[in-house]
Amino acid sequence: MLDGRQRRLALVPHRPQEPGIAFPRLHERESGIPVTEMTQDQKQELQLVLQTLVEPFRKEDQHRVRQCLQKMGGLDQCTLAFYQDGNLAGEDEWDNWRLTGPAFAWFFRGTPHVHVWVHVASDPTVTVNAKKGAFLDAWHDGVEEKRAA
């Protein structure tokens, strides 16, 4: 649904490194097209995309995602980026994209295999740690602490 100018804004040459999938720093604009550059019908379509993305989750989690996003200014505070590198589908069909807001990051990587990073919070200062193994280390440390207790 994007016109030529909007497509140029949205298209980014390289995907971010996966450990970098985090919330942007305050007042730092992510690469891609700001949702504020979209028309009302495009914003409505993006709202439907968001609805589809959260649909597999429990109703209370869907509600919480919308609530957190709204607290941070809604989709109008987000940017949408499509990444040129790693594109298998061909021109104008993007395998890799990201929707990012102050406390919202939904990154879809379609190559070399499907991987989705989703971070949602009501506060942009929440630390998001996507480093490989960091979650497992924290989980393991918690298990060890419980065993010691």
pTM of the model: 0.78
Domain ranges, residue 45: 4-148
| Token pair listed for 10 | 């949205």
User: In terms of DSSP bridges, do strands 96-101 and 33-34 run parallel, antiparallel, or are they unpaired?
Assistant: unpaired
pLDDT 10s digits, 76-91: 999 999 988 766 666 6
Number of domains in the chain: 1
User: Rounded to an integer, what distance in angstroms lies between the CA atom of residue 109 and that of residue 27?
Assistant: 26
Enumerate residues 6+ apart whose C-beta is below 8 A from 47.
75
pLDDT 10s digits, 7-53: 999 999 888 776 566 677 665 667 899 999 999 999 999 999 999 99
